Amino acid sequence: MPANNQPDRPQQLKLVKALGYNIINDSPIDSENVLQQHFRALNLHHLAELIDSILGELTVGDVQKTITVDAGPPPKLCFEYCNTNPLTFDDELYLHRTFESIEDGLIVKHDVLTLPTIYQKQNIGKAVLAAFLQQYEAAGVKKIKLLAALSTGGYAWARAGFKAIDKAEVDIILAKARQMLSPLEYSIIQRLYDGHYNSNAKNSAFAIEEWARLKFMKPVLLNSKWHGELDLTDIKELSKFRDYVTR
């Protein structure tokens, strides 16, 4: 048995396929070698089992489960789980995560997570995050990247501790806040904004969570759109994210 009590790569892929996952190889190098070289500590079988246990009962219609491996550059592993023919838009379930191996280490892109409407607000999204976070920590993932969007993403990902990395997008939210908030409320978020950008480079990541903790900012952040990052090598950021997915 290899390190971390994982099955070896051929056995892992066999077990994953037995769960109904389709393994797609988008490169001339075989999947086993790509996984061994670039995603060695990632336990695909355990992750696939966890996601099945969380999402398996939520699907309406046929389920498509796919793991795509690409030697790159950069080397990538895409994890996809969705129902292929939902009855309505409200029944749609779609999960997509992209692992990338870059010079600085592993990063993960949270591409999308959409749950059927009747299962929202039941902490299922957090259970999915917790399952992936377990693998991020085991595999030494350095950073999570995402686009906070959809109806609740701009608020939810801020509450999760992600930082906004594009000042132009933060400026758009600030302008929206000026229209929606009272002068006193606006002065509070303006002060947080100025405090950050007056003390840091214009392209530095903004702790948008400071806005999200203010109750009056929730309507402003809902339906907002911004690119975010979470640094898993930062003990404080990692701890906040762990607390978020488990509470």
Which pLDDT tens digit goes with each residue over 75-106?
999 999 998 877 778 888 999 999 999 998 99
Domain ranges of the chain: 1-139, 150-229
Strands 141-148 and 105-114: parallel
> Are the C-beta atoms of residues 34 and 71 closer than 8 Å to each other?
yes
User: How many residues in total does the chain contain?
Assistant: 247
Backbone φ and ψ of 16, nearest 5°: -65, -45
Sheet with 141-148, strands from edge to edge, namely: 22-25, 63-70, 76-83, 94-102, 105-114, 141-148, 226-231, 163-164
Cα(193)–Cα(104) distance, integer angstroms: 30
Return the minimum-mean-pLDDT range out of 5-9, 25-29, 36-40, 173-177. 5-9
Query: How confident is the model at residue 213, as a pLDDT?
Result: 96
pTM given for the model? 0.91
Cα(163)–Cα(203) distance, integer angstroms: 12
Nearest Cα to 79, choosing from 163, 19, 1? 19
